[in-house]
Amino acid sequence: MQTETDISVHPLETEDTHDRILAAAQKLFSDKGYDATSVRDITSEAGCNVASVNYHFGGKDKLYLETFRSMLTLLRDRRLEMMGDLMARKPSPTLDEFVQTFATIMLEPLVDDDRGRMFLNIVTREMIAPRLPPGVLLEEFLEPMMERSTAALAKVGPQLDPVSARMCVMSMVGQLLHSLRAHHLLADLGRTDVLPLSQTEQLRHFVRFSVGGIHACAADPLQDSLPEVTQ
Amino acid sequence: MQTETDISVHPLETEDTHDRILAAAQKLFSDKGYDATSVRDITSEAGCNVASVNYHFGGKDKLYLETFRSMLTLLRDRRLEMMGDLMARKPSPTLDEFVQTFATIMLEPLVDDDRGRMFLNIVTREMIAPRLPPGVLLEEFLEPMMERSTAALAKVGPQLDPVSARMCVMSMVGQLLHSLRAHHLLADLGRTDVLPLSQTEQLRHFVRFSVGGIHACAADPLQDSLPEVTQ
DNA sequence: GACAGTTTGAAACATTTGTTTAGAATGTTC
DNA sequence: GAACATTCTAAACAAATGTTTCAAACTGTC
């Protein structure tokens, strides 16, 4: 952001067409989805010609792929960095601290109203109806974060078998994404009455519930019912 | 299903065009979304003429609305009925039983591979990019189930303030939907290695985690930080 | 200023889109 | 059987879609 020279006064016009198209595509693809977004929607939002998409990106599908990759690598790397910071702390975080920071790590890139919702929407869409080459979403974006989170939880949490740790991370992620989606839906409808809690209070509930759940999992391990899976 | 006479041998051809279109629309709208599904896709799947959609439903958007309503009222009523059965049991269910049955109630209509995934997909899409009149999804479908679930939990669970009970239901729903979406994604990619647990074991984790979370919430109520919200 | 390379613009391309039209087929009623 | 309403089909409609074409405009270099 700060890297641009201050020659031009208008920040939008400092970006070249390539970047303006990418920005418009991020907004529109996230907002309305791939099919509901026409190339002309994008180019008119970007203030350029229809042909520019094909000149700069080689087609609508290629633009979508580049859009998705540019957004999601940003999201992933930011999360991985925050997770790395957390786990590098000199006294290892307590379980409470870990769960709370985990929520921040997962949500912080998503709650920024500019790009946050776009992230969530485009990932959600990709989960239901993938438009990317198969496996890209899972292997490049979901699994790395999943792996690190599971390892981190296993380190700070109570004694948990690997599978239980993974399931606990899934439980936490599910809670966070669902409450965020619900928040967006309710905000759109102006129904602030349905979930009368501030973000702080919602976070407190999440930590409370999840820490309780993790302890319960540690006290009652899954493994005993598993006949030592061949691996 | 059993109400049809056995005059015709071919079950598909016993349905009239109206129903065949509706069935095809359910499949395709859920599978690919509203925009990616063309009227011709639907009519060719239903084996009828393009004009039939407009004749029987008055347009693509009307067909979508009818499709959504027919699917979701089915889903909602089935869940509400199961929830009613559970709470009508002579000895009130324990918290463990409640959480376990809650999972069944939420998932059972969704795991049937025929229609289950269609339900989940179409609801998910409606949450990110509504195509229905605003509020229909929330007020007709989500809130009734939410209300009943919260009330039921408050009845069988430990002492929980209303807001905490609601948040606990949210936590449970979030977990269930997320693990189901993950299951679908992984199944599509053939990655059975990522989540090496049977449905029974996943259910066991869910119950364990959620019961632990609920107890933790009861032990540490949210209310004390709330300055008695004006209502 | 002339030149080569890059970027942009207006127009047109062939498809596909949702919808409409008019008429044939079908079943029902008198 | 005639008149009727209902349901279906083929064809056509205008509008929107992603993409291509090609000349104009711009860029920097000599």
- What are the tens digits of pLDDT across the range A100-121? 999 999 998 888 767 788 889 9
Nucleotides of D under 7 A from a protein CB: 7-12, 16-22
Spacing of C-alpha B11 from chain mean position:
27
| pLDDT of B114 strictly over 80 | no
| pLDDT of B215 strictly over 50 | yes
pTM exceeds 0.85? yes
Beta carbons of B167 and A213 less than 8 Å apart: no
In this complex, the nucleotide whose C1' atom is nearest to the CA atom of residue A48 is C8
Number of CB pairs, chain A paired with chain B, less than 8 A apart = 171
Which pLDDT belongs to residue B224? 54
B199/A176: higher pLDDT = A176
Residue B221 pLDDT grade (very low, low, confident, very high; cuts 50, 70, 90): confident
Q: What Å value separates CA B56 and C1' C28?
A: 20
Q: Which two tokens stand for residue B175?
A: 């977990």
Which pLDDT belongs to residue A195? 82
In this complex, the nucleotide whose C1' atom is nearest to the CA atom of residue A54 is D19
| pLDDT of A225 strictly over 50 | no
Nearest to A104 by CA among A83, A77, A118: A83
Tokens 């069988």 identify what position? Answer: B156
Beta carbons of A195 and B166 less than 8 Å apart: yes
What percent of chain B has a predicted confidence (pLDDT) above 90? 71
Q: Could you tell me the sign of the dihedral formed by the alpha carbons of A188, A189, A195, A196, in that order?
A: positive
Beta carbons of B175 and A179 less than 8 Å apart: no
Which pLDDT belongs to residue B14? 55
* CB proximity B125 to A under 8 Å: yes
* CB proximity B227 to A under 8 Å: no
The DSSP annotation for A24-73 comes to HHHHHHHHH-TTT--HHHHHHHHTS-THHHHHHHSSHHHHHHHHHHHHHH
* CB proximity B132 to A under 8 Å: no
Dihedral in degrees, nearest 10, Cα atoms A122, A126, A130, A135: 120
Q: What Å value separates CA B11 and C1' D7?
A: 20
Interface test with A, best of B137, B171, B173, B186 (most A CBs within 10 A): B171
Nearest to B130 by CA among B77, B68, B53: B68
Amino acid making up residue A158: P
Q: What DSSP designation does A175 have?
A: H
* CA A24/CA A16 separation, integer angstroms: 12
Cβ atoms within 10 Å, residue A13: 10
Which pLDDT belongs to residue A1? 32
Which pLDDT belongs to residue A113? 67
| pLDDT of A7 strictly over 50 | no
Residues 197-216 of B with CB under 8 A from A: 197, 201-202, 204-206, 208-216
Q: What Å value separates CA A13 and C1' D25?
A: 18
Residues 22-41 of A with CB under 8 A from B: 31-36
Name the residue closest to D9, CA to C1': B49
pLDDT tens digit string along B135-168?
889 999 999 999 999 999 999 989 999 999 999 9
Q: How far is B128 from chain A (nearest CA, A)?
A: 6
Nucleotides of C under 7 A from a protein CB: 7-12, 16-22
| pLDDT of A139 strictly over 50 | yes
* CA A111/CA A138 separation, integer angstroms: 22
Q: How far is A101 from chain B (nearest CA, A)?
A: 18
Residues 159-188 of A with CB under 8 A from B: 163-164, 166-168, 170-171, 173-179, 181-182, 184-186, 188
For range B24-40, the mean pLDDT: 95
The phi-psi region of residue B175 (left if phi > 0; otherwise alpha if psi is between -120 and 50; otherwise beta) is alpha
In this complex, the nucleotide whose C1' atom is nearest to the CA atom of residue B52 is D8
Q: Taking CB atoms and an 8 Å cutoff, what residues of chain A touch B221? A: none
For range A27-40, the mean pLDDT: 95
Residue A211 pLDDT grade (very low, low, confident, very high; cuts 50, 70, 90): very high
Q: How far is B14 from chain A (nearest CA, A)?
A: 32
